[in-house]
Chains A and B, each alone.
Chain A
């Protein structure tokens, strides 16, 4: 199976690889997938006071399509409001990267990673308000 040019481009030049401080109240962390399944994505967002994602980082254990999906996800959510970022669907990633059917789960995982990071961020905000 040949990879699409966009997958190769992202896998070779991944955007936003790295780690944000998971203890920062403005940072949300999503860790999805499982080593036994061959994919684990960690996606982190840093949200400013206006509710805009000002930074996003990822690390992924997985195939080229998984790396490309998470790289693209960080690229897309940066600069978006949390609410807009939440609207990103896996099919958008599938289309952009031309993922074949066997790689659709990579895009699903990337969507889950975004949602999971946002959920973590919101939980922290709720906890802070409650104090």
Chain B
């Protein structure tokens, strides 16, 4: 029996691994093709079934004027927007999470859990619901098609994540440590910055990772709220999809854009194994 179980285990794991890897392999292969290789039917292995070219890849770095698809600009835009919005979300979110964890609020019938729920319920809003009002909101402020406008919107998306993770995390830091800091002469702010914060680094890193992940992968808001001045990576790629862009550049562009987060996968795994993540995610 145990042997059968082990065999099944490895079989399923390998099966799933193939499933995970399949689209990547396909994209890699496709990115080296040209017109004939694609339209003649599905082909897979370079050199055996088709002639590989670097067209798909070189076109990525040429600016639009030369018939290329410049993705460097959108790349940096995405990085800038994601990191800025994540940073602000974590700062504000951590502060609010601390308050929600340590103090009791009572404004009429609104209590702590309700406020936390309010933060977290922002995630329930489908982008579509917010898109139209945000569209009008940003255009009134003159922030349509701008980095600042997008960052503002992303904060709404990401702060709930920061709050969710940090409230949970702070709840597991003993209140007595804050109390001791107060007794030792710190006012509440000093207690927070000198004592609680240094002990919250793992939690903040987890929050940071999640914010970055969810910020990077957004498509919809960038799609609705930016046009020409500012373009984010996902939007750019999807735009390629609907136009008559060939599959090979599409695949190349797609691969380039997902590469960075693969690095994040490594970071997350290391955290998991060290045990930091497990605490913060409960």
Whether chains A and B associate is: no
Residues of A near any B CB (own CB < 8 A): none
